[in-house]
Structure 1
Amino acid sequence: MNDKPTVLFVCVHNAGRSQMAAGWLRHLAGDRVEVRSAGSEPAEHINPAAVEAMREVGIDITGRTPTKLTWDEAQASDVIVTMGCGDACPVFPGKRYEDWKLDDPAGLGVEAVRPIRDEIRRRIQDLLTDLVPPRDAR
């Protein structure tokens, strides 16, 4: 990894879990990490319940758009975090992988998405601790 690690979050539709994860990492890491997200079969829009759940914690993901996973994007990433892709997400050799088993927020209301959001935050905090030193440790 270079001085600024790059993390790519991947789920099938890039409309819920991966967008929330990217939002959390951007929020918690600031400019210390480059953040990307993509999907193997991207949806047209981000899940409204995911948008609302993130808005509740002060993170705005409304301007994000689901995007198609590309080979170049994966190759340029240091860490690839998959979320419920199964065989739909390809494997890119030589990359650090984490597979996060998380419920799919598709079709759920905001009440059901909140626990997913909170679990993603916990995992993002662990990942961030592993990738970069705390701000006050510099």
Structure 2
Amino acid sequence: MSTPEVLFVCVHNAGRSQMAAALLDHHAQGRVMVRSAGSAPADTINPAVVEVMNELGLDLSKEFPKRLTTEAVQAADVVITMGCGDACPVFPGKRYLDWQLDDPAGQPIERVRPIRDEIDRRVRALLEELVPPGA
């Protein structure tokens, strides 16, 4: 069986999609290929996002926002959008999920933690679908 590939997409690739990619990569432990991108990437990752991920022992300080490419979408088995609207190209045969989540941009740490925790819950559920326990 080939390794499933997941692409997380949000507008700036500075918050939600970065948290989702880091969390899935952490939980999957190499069983899933993970990428993230943005339709209009920011210059840097949201500092509050870096801080709340550090609380879990996940270091995003070396990560950076990446531009969404057609190639990244084509390579993915599952594309998860997080508020990027129509900016994400759609290809037949791909599985698309749209996760409605608050944007952490400009939010204080206390508001970013619940967003992180909801992303973590969804990522764990997705991982169980993609790679069932014991697989």
- TM-score bracket relative to the smaller structure: over 0.9
2:105 partner letter: A
Q: Give deviations 1:71-95, integer Å, cap 9, x for gaps.
A: 1111011000000112233323321
TM-score scaled by structure 1? 0.94
Moved over 4 A (4+): none
1:63 partnered with 2:59: no
Q: Is the 8 A contact 2:73 2:89 kept in 1?
A: no
Determine the C-alpha separation between the residues in 2 that align with 1:114 and 1:82: 20
1:44 partnered with 2:11: no
> Residues 7-86 of structure 1: matches in 2 within 5 Å?
7-86=6-85
Identity of aligned residues (%): 65
Number of the residue aligned with 2:108: 109
Q: Is the 8 A contact 2:9 2:36 kept in 1?
A: yes
TM-score scaled by structure 2? 0.96
> Aligned to 1:127, what secondary structure does the other structure show?
helix
Structure 2: 5+ residue stretches without partners: none
Number of the residue aligned with 1:126: 125
Q: Give deviations 1:50-76, integer Å, cap 9, x for gaps.
A: 000110111111111101000111101
> Aligned to 1:32, what secondary structure does the other structure show?
coil
Structure 1: 5+ residue stretches without partners: none
1:132 partner letter: V
2:113 partner letter: R
> Aligned to 1:97, what secondary structure does the other structure show?
strand
> Aligned to 1:57, what secondary structure does the other structure show?
coil
Determine the C-alpha separation between the residues in 1 that align with 2:110 and 2:68: 29
Q: Is the 8 A contact 2:8 2:37 kept in 1?
A: yes
Query: Alignment length, in residue pairs?
Result: 135
Determine the C-alpha separation between the residues in 1 that align with 2:68 and 2:33: 16
| Between 84-93 and 43-52, the greater mean CA deviation after superposition | 84-93
